[in-house]
Chains A and B, each alone.
Chain A
Amino acid sequence: MPKWAMVIDLDKCTGCGDCIAACKLENNIAIVSPEEANDGRVMFWMDMITIYEGEYPNIRVKRFPKPCFHCDNPPCTKVCPVNATYKNEEGLIGQIYHRCIGCRYCMVACPYTAKVFNWLEPEWPDEFKNCFNPDVSLRMMGVVEKCSFCAHRLLKVKEDADSDEREILDNEYLPACSESCPANAIDFGDLENKESRVYNLSRSSRAYREMEDLGTEPKVIYLQKRE
């Protein structure tokens, strides 16, 4: 069984924010009204965290993209009362929109605040309905959603691989963010596969994961900035 993981090299990441846009476009993420946005109900599956360290003028700004970490030991799936968020056999944390009852317990339980909630019925002008990505189902009002590592792409890649009887190649299955990152900072692949870039990078001395002390075993691995 492959174990899909993401490696984000903060030494390369410039914080341009392209991953956010790519993600929003690929996954038909609703765009809330300005008023809603003002109330802090913006929906980003991929978010950008900024931390300021040091004293002026020697400030170091740590800026890193934050998708869902698809923990190996996810706190969110444990608390879902209806099994609407769950960990599948490949270690991806899935959301079942049509089953979610919207109790938002998983959001509360997630230490990384990786999940977002549809507070109102997501709406688009008809014109924009033309350019939905047909591979990704739309969410309805009152359900929780989050980064899926673009699992719909995995489905396709799998089908291709099956059709010409072969294993999925390294870098064949890439989420939208990693695919279009201008800094090549986001690598994605199979941790089980010893040849994969991700596997090797994850063993680098710079590798760390957010809040490892919580024991959630995130599958998003960051590589520290070189100094």
Chain B
Amino acid sequence: MEIKRREFLKLLGGVSGAVAIGTYGCNQVIDVPERLIELAKKGLGIETWKNTICGQCPAGCGIKVRLVDDIPVYIKGNPLYPVNQGGMCPSGHSALEVLFNPDRIKEPLKRIGIPGSNKWEPLSWEEALQKIADFLIKQRRNNKSHQVAFLDGSEQNSLMSEHIAQFMKAYGSPNYYQYPSVKNDSVPYLLLQGTQQIPSYDFLNTKYVLSFGSNFLEEGYSPIYYTKLYTHLKELTEKKRTRFVQIDSRMSLTAINADRWIPIRPGTYGALALGVAYILIREELYDNEFVSKHTFGFEDWVDNEGYTHLGFKSNVIGNYYPEQVSKITGVPGETILEIARELGNNKPSLVLGDQGSADNTNGTYSQMAIHSLNALLGNFGKEGGLYFTDQPPLAELPRVQEDELAVKGNSQPPIGCTYNTSFKIMDFSINSFTKNILSDNPYPVSVLFLYKGNPLFNALNHHDLAEALKKIPLVISFDSFLTETSEYADIILPDHTFLEKWDEYSNIPSVGFNHVGIQQPVIEPLFDTRNSANILIELGDKIGGTVSGSLPFENFEKEIKFRVEKIYRSGEGAIISEGLKGDWLEYLQQRGWQVGRYNSFDEFWKLITKHGGWWNPIKKEKGIKNIFKTSSGKFEFYSQLLKEWTDELVLMKGNDSHQNRELVLSELNINARGDQVYLPHYEAVPVDEHMPLYLTTYKLLTNRNGQSSNQPMMQEMFGYTSHQSWNTWAEIHPATAKDYGISNEDYIWVESSTGSIKLKAIVNPVVMPNVVAIPFGLGHTSFGRYAKGHGVNPNSVMKNLYDSLNGNPALQATKITISLAT
């Protein structure tokens, strides 16, 4: 036996042992795939590891890819990369199924059928690019450069987005949008403290965390980073534990791991937050010093014209006493009392708000209410509070050179914004984007670039969006797969998968330190695909002039190098490396802000690509002053910015008259009046009262935005928590199920005013009564053999509602009824 095994090892060289275990394995050589036998005959199977950044979701984890004879066979977390420190999420592991997916687009395609007909014919790169370039040039010559729009669904803080922005600006169009857009999510922070940045939370030093629907372990910006923090915390605080309390209408992964779960009626988070504020204020549990020093609009105040304005305090005291709040939220008064006291008595204590509380028509106001709790607790610029990371010392891209065509184009109003195209607060709303395209308001869109993402699948207004896509003369999609959306494209320029391309990721939102990750090819492109970034450079060159001048790089790799070189010069931080394993924070603290010296940039570059990234955990000391960029230089309970901009809108209606203000407010779907509009307050969600149940959706780690639906492994373990594979299910509380005569595993109809879907019911008490929770991700009508026709898409029964302040879709605002499917 032994000898045989040796022989076998020889056969497979470096990659020892298809031998399972025991002494019988030798016979199992026959079980090794042909390919490997051949490789083995060729010589030793050489095993190598390459570091890169995972592109499955925006979380930007560092991954280590195992290659045997240059073919990736396994992926694990990069133990050195500070964001995930060797951790991974399920979908990261199925990345190889993206790379080797049988449904990949292998060459440029031209649509021959009608949009959505999915009939294609191949096209040579030169032909395709020339075609597009000509069109773009024509547009430009006719002063229509602004009619070129770019929709970037990557959701990623990568160089790519800046790259695109650069291109669009140089070309002369204001219409570059990210969807979903992080900028939108940060609107509340913009309104309250004037900075458009997602805060990071100092979990490690806090005693108590109150999370308003923020599912940071599952749906957050970087779940694995938070998982790491979370468990690191549990290690640190064996004795005195940090207490996690999760407020959510469904028991999310975060809620399961929290110390307490408080169910709440969807869309009423803001009210609860203010209810908590009520008690903090009443019982003097808030940070009086901070509030008096660094906040604006807490007490009632008088403006220059001598008008008295309502203060946060009196607003809260007046409207949000526990009985009232518990009537709105369904949370018992004593519970509110409890959490408020725990919050006030366990400082430093943190308050988080996201997903559940944000994805609603009143999302922005809820977030403001929740965030203002942090102000009451004085959680700024102190240990165990929240903070804002610095920007990494990356080189800015060269200043965009705008010729007069570009200037003219850029001066045009962007079409991606809400009801009035100059509403500055919001970055992008797919809803108004669509409406504007359909109504040619203020101008038609003639070219649309699509990069990654799948708006037709994600958006709540997919019908209109489809129409809009049909309307646009030229739709170009950079995509590796045929998705619902790219089916509407006229030309598809296949992109590399992230394992084949260069990119650079810096500062994932809410990750608590400065970091840069290098995404690099681990394998030669399998097919005739190209990096979209390079395509843009090429297009720029074809257009020529200032456009090519603004992207003066041979290719994307060079561009990244150019950016990274500045880090090297700055000498800040460190390339992640063996030394930083283990208890990294302390290590760097005592080691000062710089680790390691590099003789040359080439060495630096070699190292950073070898290890996968750079980081700098040391925060620059910031006075509270530079946290708040508001006009008052303080934290503004009363958002003067919001006031200013609403006033602008009012003026655009003509004069500042009562009815104009009414008009504006009603168009913004704001029910509050007077000063309340600019204060954190509770806005009731407009729901169909005749529908008895709430519909809430959530995203699973196995398939965060439906982008993993074409990976069989993820399809199979989609519902690993309730042993559901390849299909969608609806969670229903036993009481509710009883009312509707539904038992576990029954099939039910979920019906809203916009449509109905049939799916399996899972009856268990992890969702509050009268709420039906459905995971988002499946129900594709395209996107390859593994995605198509499995499960249902809850968004298809959702009402097309949006938070009109920041333009985000309201995923929790639909009410439904259910019935047993027969």
Contact = CB atoms under 8 A, between A and B. Distances in A.
A24 B713 contact: yes
Contact of A16 (B36, B227, B790): B227
A57 B241 contact: no
A12 interface: yes
A137 B25 contact: yes
Interface residues of B, number: 85
A44 interface: yes
Contacts, number: 231
Contacts of B25: 137
B93 interface: yes
Interface in A115-161: 125-140, 148, 151-152, 154-156, 159
A136 B20 contact: yes
Interface string B29-47: 0111101100000000100
B73 A182 contact: no
A52 B32 CA distance: 42
Contacts of A32: 716
B72 A131 contact: yes
Given A48-B720, A135-B17, A127 B102 contact: yes
Interface in A148-203: 148, 151-152, 154-156, 159, 176, 179-185
A161 B31 CA distance: 27
B677 interface: no
B227 A14 contact: yes
Contact of B35 (A15, A92, A129, A183): A129
B253 A138 contact: no
Interface string B79-111: 000001011111111101101111000000000
Contacts of A55: 765
A131 B100 contact: yes
Contacts of A99: 24
B45 A17 contact: no
Contacts of A134: 12, 15, 18, 32-33, 36, 45, 68, 73
Contacts of A152: 16-21
A34 B241 CA distance: 43
Given A26-B74, A138-B31, A155 B16 contact: yes
A96 B20 contact: yes
A180 B24 contact: no
Interface in B678-727: 701-702, 712-717, 720-723, 725-727
B87 A176 contact: no
Given A152-B17, A179-B76, A184-B231, A21 B713 contact: yes
B20 A148 contact: yes
Contacts of A56: 263, 733, 765, 768-769
User: Which of A21, A22, A97 has its CB near the most chain B CB atoms (within 10 A)?
Assistant: A21
Interface in A12-51: 12, 14-18, 20-22, 24-26, 31-32, 34, 37-38, 42, 44, 48, 50
Nearest to A145: B20
Nearest to B36: A134
Interface in A92-121: 92, 94-99
B223 interface: yes
B227 A182 contact: yes
A57 B261 contact: yes
B489 interface: no
A99 B28 CA distance: 10
B230 A183 contact: yes
Nearest to A93: B21
B713 A97 contact: no
B251 interface: yes
B19 A17 contact: no
Given A25-B93, A97-B28, A137-B20, A18 B721 contact: no
B271 to A, nearest CB: 18
Given A21-B93, A56-B733, A182-B228, A132 B73 contact: yes
B670 interface: no
Contacts of A86: 22
Nearest to A134: B15
B720 to A, nearest CB: 5
Contact of B716 (A18, A31, A128): A31
Contact of A132 (B19, B36, B99): B36
User: Which of A26, A37, A129, A154 has its CB near the most chain B CB atoms (within 10 A)?
Assistant: A37
B717 A96 contact: no
Contacts of A22: 76, 88, 93
A17 B717 contact: yes
A169 to B, nearest CB: 15
Given A88-B21, A132-B73, A155-B16, A16 B90 contact: yes
Contact of A156 (B17, B721, B790): B17
B234 interface: yes
Contacts of A140: 31
B722 A50 contact: yes
A25 B713 contact: yes
15 contacts: A22-B93, A26-B74, A42-B723, A52-B766, A56-B263, A94-B20, A127-B102, A129-B33, A131-B100, A134-B36, A135-B18, A137-B25, A154-B21, A182-B227, A184-B231
Interface of A: 11-12, 14-18, 20-22, 24-26, 31-32, 34, 37-38, 42, 44, 48, 50, 52, 55-57, 59, 61, 63, 86, 88, 92, 94-99, 125-140, 148, 151-152, 154-156, 159, 176, 179-185, 226
Given A12-B235, A129-B35, 18 more contacts: A14-B230, A16-B90, A17-B702, A25-B93, A25-B96, A34-B725, A37-B726, A42-B725, A52-B764, A57-B261, A61-B251, A125-B102, A127-B101, A134-B12, A134-B32, A135-B16, A135-B18, A137-B20
Nearest 8 Cβ contacts at the A-B interface: A182-B87, A21-B93, A21-B90, A37-B725, A137-B31, A151-B21, A34-B726, A94-B21
